[in-house]
């Protein structure tokens, strides 16, 4: 067992940042001195703290910033006034996080059902992915939210997010979400993931000028013209949609990665203006002519599997080109 040497607080300020919370809690005399020290180290940045390691030293509670907790009683966490990041690993019953309303909690990850979210005024990130949550109406009260993860849930309605104007990242992949109109006012949105949902109309994104990543794979999206306003787009996935026209992407000059596999696209001429492109996936499309890619000198990989493309000579001008997939990966030597 570690013992607390008789050294000055200044020295401890240099030592404690390198100790895990479990080590700090094993120190003898820690209960007597810890609360008085109030050292920044006890905040531990965003290092994960195991609750069992600190539950016997309540003097530590006010200094915990990051915590993994698998219990059902969240009242015991109310004393963690400085708590910023929490992963609640409770998988049975409902978790009432309303008990944490007095904390500064900003990041919350859950593994089970939850209630009381609306009381977390400081919350900026919430991960409900893979849980049994259905109703996320309470999120509308979390006006500081920047990140929302609802992937693989039974959520259908995200209208509550219309008040979350600070959102920068939304993930509703593998849900039954159909209407994303609530995001029309989220002008700071940068990443939006809608793969394998019922989304078909993306008009709500036309004013999200900060968008960099957007995924629609496996949706009913057909018209991507609203993306023409999103000039900062770098990654777009349109695979397995009913998109036919890529014209809007010609205005996305920072585009680097584009997938439109298994679509009805036949004309890729708009991509000739996307000089930063380095990965393109167009397998299973009606594309026959890839001459537009001759201007994409940074091109690294192109997937032509199940297409009628015969002439790949235009890729000779793509100095970074290393691979073309046509049923198998082949090394290109020029």
Average pLDDT over residues 240-245: 97
Whole-number pLDDT of residue 75: 79
Whole-number pLDDT of residue 330: 42
Q: Name the percent of the chain in helix, strand, coil, to the closest 5.
A: 30, 15, 55
Q: Under a CB-based contact definition with an 8 Å cutoff, are residues 166 and 147 in contact?
A: no
Whether the per-residue pLDDT at 157 is higher than 80: the answer is yes
**Confidence category of residue 98, pLDDT binned at 50, 70, 90:** confident
Whole-number pLDDT of residue 241: 98
C-alpha radius of gyration, the chain, whole number? 25
Whole-number pLDDT of residue 333: 37
What is 249-334's CATH number? 3.80.10.10
Residues 277 and 281: their CA atoms lie apart, in Å, by 11
Length of the chain: 334
116-120, 204-208, 324-328: segment of lowest average pLDDT = 324-328
Residues 87 and 70: their CA atoms lie apart, in Å, by 8
The DSSP output letter for 51 is H
Whole-number pLDDT of residue 247: 97
pLDDT tens, position by position, 187-197: 999 999 999 99
In the chain, what are the domain boundaries?
A: 249-334
Average pLDDT, the chain: 82
Whole-number pLDDT of residue 100: 86
Q: Where are the alpha helices (DSSP H) in the chain?
A: 9-15, 21-26, 30-37, 51-54
Say how far residue 324 (Cα) sits from the centre of its chain: 30
pLDDT tens, position by position, 250-285: 999 999 999 999 999 999 999 999 999 999 999 999
**Confidence category of residue 173, pLDDT binned at 50, 70, 90:** very high
**Confidence category of residue 86, pLDDT binned at 50, 70, 90:** confident
pTM over 0.75: yes
Coil, helix or strand for 213?
strand
Whole-number pLDDT of residue 111: 77
Whether the per-residue pLDDT at 321 is higher than 80: the answer is no
The DSSP output letter for 19 is S
Residues 314 and 295: their CA atoms lie apart, in Å, by 9
Distance, first Cα to last Cα, the chain = 65
Whether the per-residue pLDDT at 315 is higher than 60: the answer is yes
Whole-number pLDDT of residue 10: 52
56-65, 135-144, 187-196, 294-303: segment of lowest average pLDDT = 56-65
Coil, helix or strand for 210?
coil
Say how far residue 61 (Cα) sits from the centre of its chain: 29
pLDDT tens, position by position, 9-63: 455 545 555 554 445 544 444 444 444 444 333 333 334 455 555 555 566 677 6
Task: Report residue 191 as tokens.
Answer: 């990443």
Whole-number pLDDT of residue 331: 40
For the chain, the farthest-separated pair of C-alpha atoms sits apart, in whole angstroms, at 78
Angle 173-174-178 from CA coordinates, rounded to 5°: 80
155-164, 276-285, 310-319: segment of lowest average pLDDT = 310-319
pLDDT tens, position by position, 62-82: 767 777 777 777 777 887 777
């Amino acid at each position: 067992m570690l013992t607390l040497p008789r050294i000055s607080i200044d020295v401890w300020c240099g030592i404690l940042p390198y100790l895990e919370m479990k080590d700090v809690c094993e120190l003898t005399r820690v209960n007597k001195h810890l609360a008085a020290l109030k050292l920044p180290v006890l905040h531990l940045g965003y290092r994960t703290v195991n609750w069992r390691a600190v539950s016997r030293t309540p003097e530590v509670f006010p200094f915990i910033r990051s915590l993994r907790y698998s219990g059902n009683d969240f009242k015991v966490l109310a004393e963690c006034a400085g708590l910023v990041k929490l992963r609640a690993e409770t998988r049975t019953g409902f978790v009432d996080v309303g008990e944490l309303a007095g904390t500064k909690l900003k990041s919350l990850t859950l593994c089970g059902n939850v209630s009381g979210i609306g009381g977390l005024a400081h919350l900026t990130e919430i991960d409900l992915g893979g849980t049994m949550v259905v109703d996320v109406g309470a999120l509308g009260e979390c006006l500081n939210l920047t990140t929302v993860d609802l992937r693989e849930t039974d959520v259908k309605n995200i209208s509550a997010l219309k008040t979350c104007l600070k959102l920068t990242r939304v993930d509703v992949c593998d849900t039954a979400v159909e209407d994303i109109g609530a995001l029309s006012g989220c002008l700071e949105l940068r990443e939006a993931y809608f793969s394998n949902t019922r989304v078909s109309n993306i008009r709500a994104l036309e004013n999200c000028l900060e968008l960099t990543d957007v995924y629609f794979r496996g949706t009913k999206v057909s018209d991507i013209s609203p993306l023409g306003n999103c000039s900062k787009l770098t990654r777009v996935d349109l695979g397995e949609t009913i998109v036919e026209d890529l014209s809007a992407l010609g205005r996305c000059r920072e585009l680097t990665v584009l997938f439109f596999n298994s679509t009805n696209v036949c004309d890729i001429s708009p991509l000739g203006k996307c000089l930063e492109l380095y990965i393109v996936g167009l397998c299973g499309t009606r594309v026959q002519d890839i001459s537009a890619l001759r201007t994409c000198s940074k091109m690294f990989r192109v997937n032509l599997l199940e297409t009628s493309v015969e002439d790949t000579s235009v890729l000779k001008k793509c100095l970074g080109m290393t691979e073309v997939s046509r049923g198998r990966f082949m090394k290109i030597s020029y």
